[in-house]
């Protein structure tokens, strides 16, 4: 049977959907729990939302390996222009819009 187990807790729906898309590219079905809270996003601070990602039990090992790689690529980076710290998922500096230099 397709019982679902919790893989990960995302702090917001943007992160949850990013992870979901990444897993689905690998052929892993994902369910999100808690996303309904997003309907009240205008009233709640984003941090108050927590979204649980569930995957099928038969996919949990593969999904966990993908998450390890994901969290490695999410390492924060520092902007060379303004020296602000950026979360790894930012493609551009949140402060000045510069691209990370690798």
Site residues, Zn ion (CB under 5 A): 79, 81-82, 84, 93, 95-96, 98
Closest CB 10 distance from Zn ion, rounded Å? 25
Closest CB 98 distance from Zn ion, rounded Å? 5
- Listed in sequence order, the residues at least 6 apart from 6 whose beta carbon sits closer than 8 Å to its beta carbon are 52, 53, 54
Rounded Cα distance, 60 and 63, in Å: 5
Closest CB 12 distance from Zn ion, rounded Å? 22
Rounded Cα distance, 11 and 73, in Å: 17
Comparison of 57 and 83: residue with beta carbon closer to Zn ion: 83
């Amino acid at each position: 049977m397709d019982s679902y187990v919790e893989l990960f807790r995302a702090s917001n729906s943007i992160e949850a959907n990013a992870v979901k898309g990444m897993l689905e590219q690998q052929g892993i079905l994902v369910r999100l729990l808690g996303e309904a809270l997003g309907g009240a996003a205008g009233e709640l601070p984003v941090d108050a939302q927590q979204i649980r990602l569930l995957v099928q039990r038969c996919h949990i090992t593969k999904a966990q390996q993908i998450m390890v790689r994901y969290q490695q690529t999410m390492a924060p980076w520092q902007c060379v222009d303004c020296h602000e710290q950026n979360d790894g998922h930012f493609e551009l500096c949140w402060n000045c819009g510069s691209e990370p230099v690798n």
